[in-house]
Structure 1
Amino acid sequence: MTPYIRSSLCLALAGMVGLPGIAQATVVNRGKEGPPLSEIRPAPKSIYPDQTTVTAQPSPSEVDPAFLGPVLLMKSGIVDLENGTVTLPLRRGRLASGQTVWSVLTDVTDEGLAKLYGVNYAPKMAYGPTGKALRKGHIEQDGSIVFESGKVDFSPEHSVTPGAAPNAFPPKAAQAGSVGDANYSPMVRLDDGNAIFNMPMVSFNTSEATLNQMCDGDVDNKLVEDKVVKICPRDGTVTLKLTLGYTFGKPIFYLSTEANDMTIAALEGATYTPALKSLPFALEDASVGEAAERIYAFANGPTGIDNPFRQGVNSALSDAGSHGPLNVLGGIPTINLDYSPMWRLFPVKWTDASIAKGYRTKMTDAIQIEDAGARGLIESIAGGPPKPVGIIINCPVVYRVN
């Protein structure tokens, strides 16, 4: 990217917000502190009892983010650990046809722009221009972004009907609460720039006055994405519910915003986005052309809300008060080089033999899962060793807990 184009994009994205941004990225409401001199403290309620303790501060990660300890990865956000939410700048744009688009910016393929906007650097997303997986936009003279196409219907009633016990997964029926049209993708390229931005839509064709009625948290999910807790154009912010997962043994918080499968979108509380079916999914992580990283979801992990080893979709659907399926993600910034907010799903299950032998437990490391797959303890729900099955989920990472 030439300096001129990069500068133009910087000015345009800064101007297109048209709203006040978050004054300072930080972590608020951390929960209970540990005793003096202790290296651990009680976990915030948003992840308890799946995690009962976390690293205290000051921590080694404050010296080097690769070390043990908490790291705010999406520095444009304000994270509330007790409530498990993140507040991000709300960005206003429009379609070429005139409708208002409200979105957030979470990732970009340019490292300099990532630092400038306090979002994740995601170089692998550069392989996103396949089929309709990428949409285009241009910048008006006033700095606003006009998207060529891509609409989302937020009016459907979000619902998931679990399967008969003990196998709540697969569900009998599932409907995502928001559905993108054939041209909608969160991945956007602007004008002649090379950078690709991850800009999930959180509301469409809704007036500022209507959304301002949701500033205090009384949201209408027929107008906004299901993860929205508060949305406030007046303040220039939107607050979203985070999802707890793991990467290489570390608990992390991430957003789950789109999926190219209706059932997975409903389970994730995300937008069903058919255009993401264009992304390649069967390449190896380090392959040229692979735009996505891997994420593992267990179908039949241990259940029981008080079970310290609980995990999986069966648990998420049947255990009241759970923090979701506790999926296991691959590389994220500070840990690996191959991060992408686009994740290719490896749906796995424990084999009957493993369950009979009492081997079934909670897994938090992708390499650990692959090792169990090589031993025949875990298999793909499609049969054979763990593998991707064509499902892509947009999950920008926000906060590393440990």
Structure 2
Amino acid sequence: MNLKSTISCCITAALLPVFSAHAVVVARGQEGIPLEEGRTAPPSIFPDEHVITAQPSPSEINPSFLGPVLLMKSGQVDLVKGTVTLPLYEGKLESGETVWSIITDVSDQQLAQLHGAVFSAKMAYGITDDNARMARVEQSGAFIFNKGKVDFSPGLSITPGNKPDYFPPKHAQAGSVGDADYTPMVKIAGGSAVYNMPTVAENVSAEKLNTMCDGNVDHTLVHDKVVRICPKTKSVTLNMTLGYTFGKPVFYISTDSNDKTIAALETSTYTPALSKLPFSLEDASPGEFAERIYAFANGPVGINNPFRQGVNSALSDKGSHGPLNVLGGIPTINLDYSPMWRLFPVKWTKEAIAKGYRTKLTNAFDIENAAEKGLVVSLVDGKAPKAAGIIINCPVVYRIN
């Protein structure tokens, strides 16, 4: 190959997108001893998890088998830091403000595969009345949204309650607030698919955001989950949240909620428009757009407690990885995944605590089983677990085991 062709190849490579629909896990941490099926868990989930599946794993043959699965194929996951780097999409509102977004889920399977997003057929059921924004794509590739603004200037602020009931907090202010028209659910002109397309920055120039490429992020301008944003590389890095689904640890990102307190606790955007979504049906019912997520208010506390879980722990245990919520179905495990989750807030009963039954639960059926035994009740009315009318947008990124 001569010098001219070498230079040409280098230029071509430099112009290629940073991401593909099949990005990789860029940092997994130290692998285990050869021939062992387990390895030490990375710092992002330690000490809640001490051991995870080593590679090669059965999931490399079949994603339903034991082992790690990258569900959001466009994401570059760093398991050591607990972050995911996604493509950053530039756009603007019809009124002229610049909008920076990510695409996490799509209701069409082929488009989800094309864009490296997570497939969620159920998400299409959420398009009723005025629950979605419309967008068109200009020749430049920019998305033009018809409405929906987000204010990122409010400072995130949480004041825990008094011991031992740190939840509910005395004060909670989300770091970003959507207007009455903002929703992460978007339909693009010319198609029928629904995109989960949360806004991560708005009304700020590429030049300003490029000063945050090194991770020195101004959260009065961007989403509180963002740890790095860089228009010149068309990428944004966000913190992930550790949770569980049917006994398996998973990483997800929380981007929006229709409840002020939950939005603050999840470091998400307070999004009132999500309250317009239907969520009264059961998970597998035709027309039900959401899945369920359980959050314990009064689980065991103590950062080194192997059974710690719940919002009390998240608010009081320094260095915790959040409340360790329990999700319903995700891809590879069930058919009814949706990034929109109906919150089922629950608590352990005084009797269960007195008898020493309170522990860490990581399976939705285990929670329902405990409820049938009278050990766990709804935080709403003290009866069986039920949806509280709260929606959280939590796209799944990575199945750890």
Q: TM-score, normalised by structure 1?
A: 0.94
Which amino acid in 1 is paired with 2:146? E
Mapped pair 1:321 → 2:328 = no
Aligned with 2:141: secondary structure? coil
- Matched positions, count: 385
Partner of 2:387: 388
Hey, what does 1:22 align to over in structure 2?
Answer: 19
Specify which of 53, 65, 80 is matched with residue 82 of structure 1.
80
What is the alpha-carbon root mean square deviation over aligned residues? 1.1
Q: Is contact 1:132-1:276 (8 Å) kept?
A: no
In 1: Cα distance, 2:16 partner to 2:397 partner: 22
Matched residues in 1 for 2:63 and 2:137: separation?
35
What secondary structure, in the 3-state scheme, does the structure 1 residue paired with 2:392 have?
strand
Shifted more, 301-310 versus 125-134: the winner is 125-134
Matched ranges for 1:150-189 at <5 A = 150-189=148-187
Unaligned runs of 5+ in 1: 1-17
Q: Which residue of 2 aligns with 1:134?
A: 132
The answer to whether the 8 Å contact 1:301/1:315 transfers is: yes
SS in 2 for 1:220: coil
Q: CA deviation at 1:80?
A: 0.2
Deviations 1:155-197 (A, max 9, x none): 0010111000000000001000000000000000011311000
Structure 1 residues 350-400: Cα deviation after superposition (integer angstroms, max 9, x where no partner): 000100010000000001111111111100001210000100000000000
Look up the match of 1:213. Answer: 211
Q: 1:1-12 residue pairs with structure 2 within 5 A?
A: none
Asked if the contact 1:96/1:146 (under 8 Å) is kept, the reply is yes
For the residue of structure 2 that corresponds to 1:323, the secondary structure is coil
Q: Among 377, 380, 383, which residue is 1:379 paired with?
A: 377
Output the amino acid matched with 1:384.
K
Match of 2:9 in 1: none
Match of 2:364 among 342, 358, 366: 366
Corresponding residue number in structure 1 for 2:302: 304
Deviation at 1:132, TM superposition (A): 3.4
Distance of 1:343 and 1:184 partners within structure 2: 18
Superposition deviation, residue 131 in structure 1 = 3.7
Partner of 1:400: 399
In the alignment, is the contact (CA less than 8 A) between 1:100 and 1:205 conserved in 2?
yes
Letter in 2 for 1:376: G
Displacement after TM superposition at 1:142 (Å): 3.4
Q: Distance in 2 between matches of 1:101 and 1:142?
A: 14
Q: What amino acid does structure 1 have at the position aligned with 2:391?
A: I
The answer as to whether partners of 1:346 and 1:380 remain within 8 angstroms in 2 is yes
Asked if 1:191 corresponds to 2:179, the answer is no
Q: Is the 8 A contact 1:379 1:385 kept in 2?
A: yes
Amino acid in the other structure paired with 2:315: L
Query: Who is 2:267 aligned against?
Result: 269
Question: Which secondary structure does the structure 1 equivalent of 2:52 belong to?
Answer: strand
CA distance in 2, matches of 1:159, 1:131: 33
1:353 is matched with: 351
Matched ranges for 1:69-108 at <5 A: 69-108=67-106
Which structure 2 segments of 5+ residues have no match? Answer: 1-14
Structure 1 CA distance, aligned partners of 2:160 and 2:125?
36
Measured in 1, the distance between the counterparts of 2:141 and 2:52 equals 43
The residue type paired with residue 121 of structure 1 is F
Shift of 1:401: 0.2
Per-residue CA shift, 1:317-352, capped at 9, x if unaligned? Answer: 000000000000000000000000000000000000
| 2:210/2:232 contact within 8 Å kept | yes
Which residue identity is paired with 1:67?
F
Q: Please show how residues 326-337 of structure 1 align to structure 2 within 5 Å.
A: 326-337=324-335
Task: Note if contact 2:89-2:142 (Cα within 8 Å) is conserved in structure 1.
Answer: no
Q: 1:320 to 1:19 in 2, by over 3 A?
A: farther
Structure 2: distance between partners of 1:276 and 1:28: 34
SS at match of 1:203: strand
134-143 vs 292-301, greater mean Cα deviation: 134-143
The one-letter amino acid of 1:94's match is K
**Distance in 1 of aligned mates of 2:329 and 2:352:** 27
Structure 2 equivalent of residue 244 of structure 1: 242
Q: Distance in 1 between matches of 2:313 and 2:79?
A: 23
Q: Give the equivalent residue in structure 1 for 2:336.
A: 338
Query: How far apart, CA to CA, are the structure 2 residues paired with 1:259 and 1:142?
Result: 31
Query: Match of 2:384, as an amino acid?
Result: P
| Percentage identity across paired residues of the two chains | 67
Does 1:278 find its partner at 2:270? no
Measure the CA separation in 2 of the matches of 1:325 and 1:183. 30
Q: Determine the C-alpha separation between the residues in 2 that align with 1:127 and 1:185.
A: 15
Deviation at 1:288, TM superposition (A): 1.4
Check the 8 A contact 1:19/1:234 in 2, yes or no: no
Deviation at residue 33 of structure 1 after TM alignment:
1.1
Q: Helix, strand or coil for the counterpart of 2:244?
A: strand
* Superposed displacement of residue 32, structure 1: 1.5
Displacement after TM superposition at 1:19 (Å): 9.5
Determine the C-alpha separation between the residues in 2 that align with 1:384 and 1:212: 51
Superimposed CA distance per residue, residues 245-290 of structure 1 (whole angstroms, 9 cap, x where no aligned partner): 0000000000000000000000000000000001112210011111
1:69-89: CA deviation from partner (whole Å, max 9, x where unpaired): 000000101000000000000
Cα separation, 1, equivalents of 2:92 and 2:275: 24
